[in-house]
């Protein structure tokens, strides 16, 4: 029973989480040969002021570049 945990900055919507879960599940199934219903994906939103790199909070860094939607996989 594979469990994949993703920590990412908050601000992504339900559609992005749905697509991420779908793509991660498909990749795990391809690599392991397990059934899709045995794959668990946990997605945790983290506020930028709860995330630091190099001793600096991400909220103190420049704003991230705007995201462009990616087309869904077939």
pLDDT digits (tens, 9 = 90+) for 5-47: 999 999 999 999 999 999 999 999 999 999 999 999 999 999 9
Contact at 8 Å (CB) between 11 and 50? no
Query: The domain 3-55 is classified under which CATH number: 1.10.3720.10, 3.30.429.10, 3.40.50.2300, 3.60.21.10?
Result: 3.30.429.10
pLDDT at 62: 77
Q: Which candidate, 43, 52, 53, 56, places its Cα nearest to that of 11?
A: 43
Work out the average pLDDT over 41-67.
Answer: 87
């Amino acid at each position: 029973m594979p469990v994949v945990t993703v920590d990412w900055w908050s601000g992504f919507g339900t559609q992005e989480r749905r697509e991420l879960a779908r793509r991660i599940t498909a990749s795990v199934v391809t690599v392991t040969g397990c059934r899709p219903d045995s794959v668990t994906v946990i997605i945790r939103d983290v506020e930028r002021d709860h995330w630091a790199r190099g001793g600096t909070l991400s909220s103190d860094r420049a704003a991230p570049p705007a995201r462009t939607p990616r087309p869904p996989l077939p």
